[in-house]
A and B are shown apart, each in its own frame.
Chain A
Amino acid sequence: MTRVFPPLTLAVFLVPVLAGLAGTLLPAFGVLPGVGGTPSLEPWRDLGAAAGLGRSVALSLGIGVGAAVLSLALALGIAAGAQGTRVMTACRRALAPLLAVPHVAVALGLAFLLAPSGWLARLASPWATGWTLPPDLPTVPDPFGLAAVLALTLKETPYLLLMLLAALGAVQADRSVAVARALGYGPVAAWVRVVLPRVYPLIRLPVYAVLAYSLSVVDVALVLAPGTPGPLAVEVVRWLGDPDPALRMQGAAGAVLQTGLVAGVLLVWRLGEAGVARLSRSWVTAGPPTPTATPTLGRRAGPGMVLAVAGPLVALVALALVGMALWSVATAWFWPAPWPAGLTLDTWRRHLAASPGPLWTTVTVGVAATGLAVALALGSLEHEPARGRPSGRGSLWLLYTPLLLPQVGFLFGVQILAVFAGLDGTWGAVVWAHLLFVLPYVFLALADPHRRLDPRWRRTARSLGAGPGRTFVRVVVPLLLRPILFAAAIGFAVSVAQYLPTLFLGAGRHPTLTTEAVALAAGGDRRLIGVRVFLQAALPLLVFGLALALPRVLFRSRSAMAAGEGTV
């Protein structure tokens, strides 16, 4: 029975992705499905003639590569410094909630924090800065997209770190480091030499996903990156939404260019990995420093360095969200007061009475996409023991496809497909579009705990007379309840954060908290933005809280389950 799940799961997202790529490629060469046209290179000529194209591409590259390099460096630094210490657990606890907060919420919060009239300037003015008026500084957006790099780094570092921690367990990093340290290496030097080379291949896909995402991000760029011209993906979205078919085809060509850009950078990055590996080969085995040598940074660094890196990351996000929460309950907040003049719930009442729709849509789409994703992932995984071998690395790459392709590269094609199917602008189409991005994360979160489940649990249940269905419901699901709920919480957070899929497939008829927040960003009503950002951040955090609390409550009198040993 479980046989249907793997092909069904693949079909659910490979069909739209492939059709989406085709549906983007055709108009890029002059054929707009539904409108017609003859194949031509006109869209590419238009694209080449578009004002500021070079600057757009440069901006995309700078933001994308900058954010990926910085997040990877920070995540590696934290993991290396904290290896085997208690700081590691603290880091994991402190950084995990950052995963739940949507990118846009972080971006909008940062925008208020860093703006010339923002919170940081207010807290320091005029006593420290001497500013009596907001200074005329281009901080948000800054001309180089640095604020966007910062926002992306705040979000991607915790993600890469959690992926790293999972990988570290798989390679028994603690023991390797102990061996290397006994041979005379400092903790970080040991980690870089004996753990990194084995752990990097395990986090390669997440790193590529971060790279692809940062290179083609739209929502964060709309809030924090310069606008004239914006990064390539932002320009492409603007063109694709234009009523003029010629501009839409130019946008399709831009989408193909964006896909090429991501592919090119990934290729260069891959070659870079090989280069680094080759160059460092002799360095890895060059031997430890002599005991009398002055300690280098790599020898001295440790938990202290970790706190110095991770602390500000968490603090910035927390400050950004608190700032927006304060705005949502502010009567007025004049420059340069550090606090609002008074507090009120008026904005909340006004907002919730006027437009409960986006909140409702966010919840229903999130629950539906997450529910489907959990069902498909569990179904596919359940097929593995039946088949006797786990799916190989090949299917993992397939699963990552929607995360390695720029969203603008295929969502336009998916939208065209939805128009033909009569599905565009429906709630179901939005759920499906979200599912493309929710499913990979849910599957990845569930795969390891599911594969680690002791096969003897199933054998015991079956030999006691329980059929496959009863074994699944009464034994497998309860034993895996904790990871299942955690995966669902991740899925829900991913859904809440989706911007482009909602925009393209919802045809503007199903606004969510995220699309509304981005739409408001340009307007500048900070109180209203505050409400949206607060809801956007609070909703996934609430779900994470529930996912952690529920097993504790359900299994409060079962100590092995409460301790999380049920899955071992």
Chain B
Amino acid sequence: MTLALEAVTLHLGTRRLLGPLSLAVAPGETVTVMGPSGSGKSTLLDAVAGTLSPAFRLSGRVTLDGRNLGGLPPERRRLGLLFQDPMLFPHLSVGGNLAFGIPRGVGRRARRARVAAALAEADLDGLEDRDPATLSGGQAARVALLRVLLAEPRALLLDEPFSRLDADLRARVRAFVFDHAAARGLPTVLVTHDPDDARGRILTVAEAGA
């Protein structure tokens, strides 16, 4: 499974925001896109994930294993997305959040088993019924990653997912995320402005319009 960007360029109106950018991310590989805020790196992830606001215009191709993702709605691209905030749905329990992305075809019993197994793997056993608002920052970050993994993504897109964590926690969550991505052989794109978080090959995008 390879995630490839071919001459991807982003425009806001007539202004070029980013690109042209070409990049191939191999299975299990992480590529870091670095740049100051406002350089359009989060917008780049939106473009790959298919959630680009219509105000922007995307040219070039995004492919996964040679298949063009253009035109596919975000729910059919199967790309795991992590933000700065864990974005755990506040109206669902921890278990409800984890089960949200498990594909429809999986039966009730199997869903529960998968949720329990995922929690156990992250040392969060038995937290199914917990209110996500009561989790610590590190727990919430891990649950957010587990939720993404249970949806069986084919690649990971990380939008500064560690920047809100304090230094100690940060190292552990970072290791947790990258270990899982590598173990599953997921091509991973990380955008950040913090050199500490950078991993693998590093691609620097310049200030907008520069």
Known: A456-B85, A558-B131, A560-B132. A466 touches B100 (CB 8 A): yes
For B85, the closest partner residue in chain A by CB is A456
Task: Give the CA-CA distance A386 to B55 in the complex, in Å.
Answer: 10
In the complex, the answer to whether B90 meets A388 with C-beta atoms within 8 Å is no
In the complex, the answer to whether B90 meets A566 with C-beta atoms within 8 Å is yes
Task: Give the CA-CA distance A310 to B15 in the complex, in Å.
Answer: 52
In the complex, the answer to whether B55 meets A463 with C-beta atoms within 8 Å is no
A349 within 8 A of B: no
- Residues of the B chain whose Cβ atoms lie less than 8 Å from the Cβ of A464: 75, 100-101, 147-148, 151
- Residues of the B chain whose Cβ atoms lie less than 8 Å from the Cβ of A462: 49-51, 73-75
For B132, the closest partner residue in chain A by CB is A560
Return B54 CB to nearest CB of chain A, in Å: 3
Residues 325-368 (chain A) with a chain B CB within 8 angstroms: none
- Residues of the A chain whose Cβ atoms lie less than 8 Å from the Cβ of B85: 456
A40 within 8 A of B: no
User: Mostly helix, strand, loop or mixed at chain A's interface?
Assistant: helix
Task: Give the CA-CA distance A558 to B97 in the complex, in Å.
Answer: 13
Return B48 CB to nearest CB of chain A, in Å: 10
- Residues of the A chain whose Cβ atoms lie less than 8 Å from the Cβ of B75: 462-467, 471
Return B95 CB to nearest CB of chain A, in Å: 13
A459 within 8 A of B: yes
In the complex, the answer to whether B134 meets A559 with C-beta atoms within 8 Å is yes
In the complex, the answer to whether B74 meets A463 with C-beta atoms within 8 Å is yes
Contact string against B for A residues 542-559, beta-carbon threshold 8 Å, 1 for contact and 0 otherwise: 000000000000010111
A206 within 8 A of B: no
In the complex, the answer to whether A459 meets B74 with C-beta atoms within 8 Å is yes
- Residues of the A chain whose Cβ atoms lie less than 8 Å from the Cβ of B77: 463
Residues 97-155 (chain B) with a chain A CB within 8 angstroms: 100-101, 103, 131-134, 147-148, 151, 153
In the complex, the answer to whether B49 meets A459 with C-beta atoms within 8 Å is yes
Task: Find B91's partner among A456, A459, A478 (CB 8 Å cutoff).
Answer: A478
Residues 77-103 (chain B) with a chain A CB within 8 angstroms: 77-81, 83, 85, 87, 89-91, 100-101, 103
- Residues of the B chain whose Cβ atoms lie less than 8 Å from the Cβ of A479: 89-91
The number of chain B residues with a CB under 8 A from chain A is 32
Q: In the complex, how many residue pairs between chain A and chain B have their CB atoms under 8 Å apart?
A: 90
In the complex, the answer to whether B87 meets A460 with C-beta atoms within 8 Å is yes
Known: A388-B53, A458-B51, A560-B90. A463 touches B81 (CB 8 A): yes
Which of A457, A463, A481 has its CB near the most chain B CB atoms (within 10 A)? Answer: A463
In the complex, the answer to whether B73 meets A558 with C-beta atoms within 8 Å is no
Return A555 CB to nearest CB of chain B, in Å: 6
Task: Give the CA-CA distance A438 to B81 in the complex, in Å.
Answer: 40
Task: Find A555's partner among B78, B83, B91 (CB 8 Å cutoff).
Answer: B91
Task: Give the CA-CA distance A530 to B78 in the complex, in Å.
Answer: 62
A561 within 8 A of B: yes
Task: Give the CA-CA distance A321 to B76 in the complex, in Å.
Answer: 57
In the complex, the answer to whether A558 meets B147 with C-beta atoms within 8 Å is no
In the complex, the answer to whether A459 meets B51 with C-beta atoms within 8 Å is yes
Which of B51, B90, B132, B133 has its CB near the most chain A CB atoms (within 10 A)? Answer: B90
- Residues of the A chain whose Cβ atoms lie less than 8 Å from the Cβ of B103: 465
Task: Give the CA-CA distance A460 to B87 in the complex, in Å.
Answer: 7
Task: Give the CA-CA distance A385 to B90 in the complex, in Å.
Answer: 21
For A555, the closest partner residue in chain B by CB is B91
Task: Give the CA-CA distance A155 to B151 in the complex, in Å.
Answer: 52
Task: Give the CA-CA distance A545 to B133 in the complex, in Å.
Answer: 26
In the complex, the answer to whether A561 meets B147 with C-beta atoms within 8 Å is no
Residues 470-491 (chain A) with a chain B CB within 8 angstroms: 471, 474-475, 478-479, 481
Contact string against B for A residues 135-158, beta-carbon threshold 8 Å, 1 for contact and 0 otherwise: 000000000000000000000000
Task: Give the CA-CA distance A565 to B151 in the complex, in Å.
Answer: 26
Known: A462-B73, A474-B100, A560-B133. A387 touches B54 (CB 8 A): yes
Q: What are 13 A-B residue pairs whose CB atoms fall within 8 Å in the complex?
A: A388-B53, A454-B87, A458-B51, A459-B74, A460-B87, A462-B51, A463-B79, A463-B80, A463-B81, A466-B101, A467-B73, A479-B90, A558-B132
With A386-B54, A460-B87, A465-B103 given, name 5 new contacts (CB 8 A): A463-B49, A465-B78, A479-B90, A481-B91, A561-B91
